[in-house]
A and B are shown apart, each in its own frame.
Chain A
Amino acid sequence: GAGVSQSPSNKVTEKGKDVELRCDPISGHTALYWYRQSLGQGLEFLIYFQGNSAPDKSGLPSDRFSAERTGGSVSTLTIQRTQQEDSAVYLCASSYRIAGGDTQYFGPGTRLTVL
């Protein structure tokens, strides 16, 4: 079946603009995760969803970041008033359950560049 998809694949924006990143998880996966991968850095966990709810938002870097998931499927990550330090690859992953032992399947990522 289809894997995790993300759009856009690349986004270039000007500092101060808002951006919206989209993730389509694998059908039937109840758990969805957002990560950030900065150049030369590892994975930074941002937020996860179990169904439509996000029990822990403490990983979001600032209040400019928000995420939602509707219908237990598609999720959007919104960054308001983007800053240059927001430039990174944003990865989405999904798994069948939120149990950590479940394999996470990753999307191709959205490369965000803030000028």
Chain B
Amino acid sequence: AQRVTQPEKLLSVFKGAPVELKCNYSYSGSPELFWYVQYSRQRLQLLLRHISRESIKGFTADLNKGETSFHLKKPFAQEEDSAMYYCALSGQGSNYQLIWGAGTKLIIKP
């Protein structure tokens, strides 16, 4: 079955500390993976996608096919990173909507 798992509902770290939001997936083919973010009182929006290999707002995510993971990382957390983060999966090249994880609420403590 196709599934995205975000094991942490809540993650709280101090400002300046490294952050890692975990995402594991189950998919039989070659997926496309995404991270979406929702800041307080803002719309849900795309943060990054694995195919673009970008670093957005200091965040990176590497697709590890062996471990079927797509963890989101940032070396030094900032207070403005506090938000709800969703990992999502799509079947590459397929006519398909996204499969969403349950989300992780990230709180950066001052």
Contact = CB atoms under 8 A, between A and B. Distances in A.
A100 interface: yes
B3 to A, nearest CB: 13
Contact of A100 (B43, B86, B91): B91
Interface in A1-53: 3, 31, 33, 41-43, 45, 48
Interface residues of B, number: 24
A43 B95 contact: no
Given A33-B97, A42-B86, A103 B46 contact: yes
B100 interface: yes
Interface residues of A, number: 21
Contacts of A99: 90, 93-96
Given A106-B43, A106-B45, A100 B100 contact: no
B102 A41 contact: yes
Given A43-B86, A107-B43, A100 B97 contact: yes
Contacts of B86: 42-43
Given A93-B44, A106-B43, 15 more contacts: A3-B43, A33-B97, A42-B100, A42-B103, A43-B103, A45-B100, A91-B44, A98-B95, A99-B90, A100-B90, A100-B97, A101-B49, A101-B51, A104-B98, A108-B43
